Amino acid sequence: MNGDEIRDLFIGYFEEKGHLHMPSASLIPAGDPTLLFTSAGMVPFKPFFTGEQTPPRVRMTSSQKSFRTTDIDEVGDHKHLTFFEMLGNFSIGDYFKEGAIEFAWELVTKKFGLDPDKLFVTIHLDDDDAFKIWRDQVGVPVERIYRYGDSDNWWGPAGNEGATGPCSEIHYDGGREKGCQDMVSPDDLTAILRADRDAGVKSGFPDVPGCHPNCDCERFVELWNLVFMQFYQDAQGTRVPLPAPSIDTGMGIERVAAVMQGVHDNYDTDTFRNLIAASESLTGVKAEGDRTASHRVIADHLRSTSFLMADGVLPSNEGRGYVLRRIIRRAIRHGHQLGATEPFLHKLVTSLVDQMGDAYPELAADQSRVEETLRLEGERFVDTLEQGIRILDQEISSLSGLVLAGDVAFRLYDTYGFPVDLTADYCREKGLTVDMAGFEQAMSEQRARARAASQFQMAETIEVSVDQSTTFSGYEELKGKATVLALLADGKEVQSLTSRQPAA
Ligand code: SER
């Protein structure tokens, strides 16, 4: 099944079960000042969970464009992405744990046809209700039901306030050969995590004597997260019950596609394979060995930047635009690493539109604007990049330890415009780290200097013969007619000035 077929099957299944198909909302959350981007499928539904708005129907389903930078440093491995499509079903005070679990199990095992013996489930440490449903109603053997604490099985809120609750996940087992060691039993893991919690220590994964669904190794793929929304949490962290217990689920289409297509890697799925092939033919470099990660980063960042721009974000130096600019620059640096000395990202947009333009017509409609913006950003950044990397290479070759000094990273940023996250990326690939505290220190010293410099001496008020207010037209026009009202030199009004005479 390719991505389009998976999406159709998921949405169709929930439509049959009485859910209203809601279109994907913009990556810019509407009317939610607590979030910069739509980071999960439930974001457009936030006001429905809290009762602020009435939903068009109590059962809804969607395939939502989502963007997160939480794992950006991990992009390049086999599963992390900044942009993904999240399939979800939502119940606003209608069905709860039982309904959500039964739907999910039927869809995964009967419609997607995944082998139930390869599925593991996780629940919250205290969620005995979910445990009983999985064991008694669904029939999952207890050896495959694992309990975890808040860091893994409590979801939300999205942003600093909103709906939140315990969750239950379905994981796909790639097999013992993909794993690190034999499994720890659910009871042993529960005992360890409960003891950790009682002692106030964070999750003890490094000490767990065996593999388990949330292990860092590559054995398990998390397929689906079922959130049992029960509380509203405010910005101070206080929780009160929601108007009604509700359901929010999220299934990353790329991960299901990987499992359904028998590959263990998001980037080996149809959409990504085609994007990576386009990147290979443009750069002339095969996605093999240590080149693989750069092609993956380019494919992921091409998707995220193009979708952000199609939703109206433009590169800039602040807010959303700054995040976008940093991601574009990151992709350009990886292209440079593959030998691309000219701007290239814009040339890949056609392949993306071929892959995803049918499901997301806004992308196809905006293709030429997206291409043009990527081209301009590329042209603007290419010189900075070459210069920055040259300086960085010199600094690294004369480095004695494994840490690049913060003031070097700062000089690259301040004098040459080379972003510190690129410096950090570049260093990480060479087994080095950047002294970020030193960087921050140099940055705050610079800010203090800039503040001092801006407090220039105001001369005492100069009396001029003309007293007439002026209108600023610069917001509307770049050119305009004006009348010179006075000439000042050495703090005095004069009738004429020579070209080299310092003005007042
Ligand atoms: N909100 C949950 C998540 O993002 C489920 O949709 O994982």
Is 156:146 a contact under the CB 8 Å cutoff?
no
Type of residue numbered 310? A
To test the ligand 1 pocket, which listed residue (65, 86, 91, 170) has its Cβ within 8 A of the most ligand atoms?
86
Q: Report CA(252)–ligand 1 centroid distance (Å).
A: 9
Q: Which atom of ligand 1 is nearest to the CA of 158?
A: 1
Q: Which atom of ligand 1 is nearest to the CA of 156?
A: 1
Q: Report CA(63)–ligand 1 centroid distance (Å).
A: 12
Residue 48, H or E segment: helix 46-49
To test the ligand 1 pocket, which listed residue (225, 233, 247, 256) has its Cβ within 8 A of the most ligand atoms?
225
pLDDT digits (tens, 9 = 90+) for 232-285: 999 999 999 999 999 999 999 999 999 999 887 889 998 899 999 999 999 999
88 CB less than 6 Å from ligand 1? yes
225 CB less than 6 Å from ligand 1? yes
**Tokens in use for 491?**
């703090």
**What is the percent of the chain where pLDDT is above 90?**
71
Q: Backbone phi, then psi, for 222, in 5-degree steps?
A: -75, 120
Q: Report CA(380)–ligand 1 centroid distance (Å).
A: 37
Q: Report CA(41)–ligand 1 centroid distance (Å).
A: 6
Q: Is 33 helix (H, G, I), strand (E, B) or coil?
A: coil
pLDDT given at position 296: 96
Q: Backbone phi, then psi, for 381, in 5-degree steps?
A: -95, -20
Distance CA(280)–CA(273), nearest Å, equals 10
155 CB less than 6 Å from ligand 1? yes
The residue among 299, 290, 289 whose CA lies nearest residue 266 is: 299
Q: Which atom of ligand 1 is nearest to the CA of 226?
A: 5
pLDDT digits (tens, 9 = 90+) for 428-446: 989 999 999 999 999 888 8
Is 148:193 a contact under the CB 8 Å cutoff?
yes
To test the ligand 1 pocket, which listed residue (14, 68, 83, 155) has its Cβ within 8 A of the most ligand atoms?
155
Average pLDDT over residues 62-82: 89
pLDDT digits (tens, 9 = 90+) for 301-358: 999 999 999 999 999 988 899 899 989 999 999 999 899 988 999 999 999 999 999 8
403-404 and 239-252 beta bridge pairing: unpaired
Residue 167 CA: distances (Å) to CA of 66, 142, 331: 19, 18, 34
The sign of the torsion formed by the CA atoms of 394, 400, 402, 407 equals: negative
**Tokens in use for 309?**
């721009």
Distance CA(71)–CA(81), nearest Å, equals 7
Q: Report CA(446)–ligand 1 centroid distance (Å).
A: 41
Q: Report CA(389)–ligand 1 centroid distance (Å).
A: 39
Minimal-distance CA residue to ligand 1 atom 4: 40
Contacts of 84 (CB under 8 A, 6+ apart): 66, 252, 253, 254
Q: Which atom of ligand 1 is nearest to the CA of 39?
A: 4
pLDDT given at position 468: 65
Q: Is 154 helix (H, G, I), strand (E, B) or coil?
A: strand
pTM for the model stands at: 0.80
Minimal-distance CA residue to ligand 1 atom 2: 250
Is 45:24 a contact under the CB 8 Å cutoff?
no
pLDDT digits (tens, 9 = 90+) for 386-434: 889 999 999 999 999 999 999 999 999 888 888 888 899 899 989 999 9
Is 446:412 a contact under the CB 8 Å cutoff?
no
**Tokens in use for 261?**
């297509």
For residue 463, pLDDT over 70 is answered with no
For residue 35, pLDDT over 70 is answered with yes
Angle at which helices 367-397 and 292-310 cross, to 10°: 140
Q: Report CA(168)–ligand 1 centroid distance (Å).
A: 11
pLDDT digits (tens, 9 = 90+) for 148-160: 999 999 998 998 8
Distance CA(347)–CA(302), nearest Å, equals 10
Contacts of 500 (CB under 8 A, 6+ apart): none
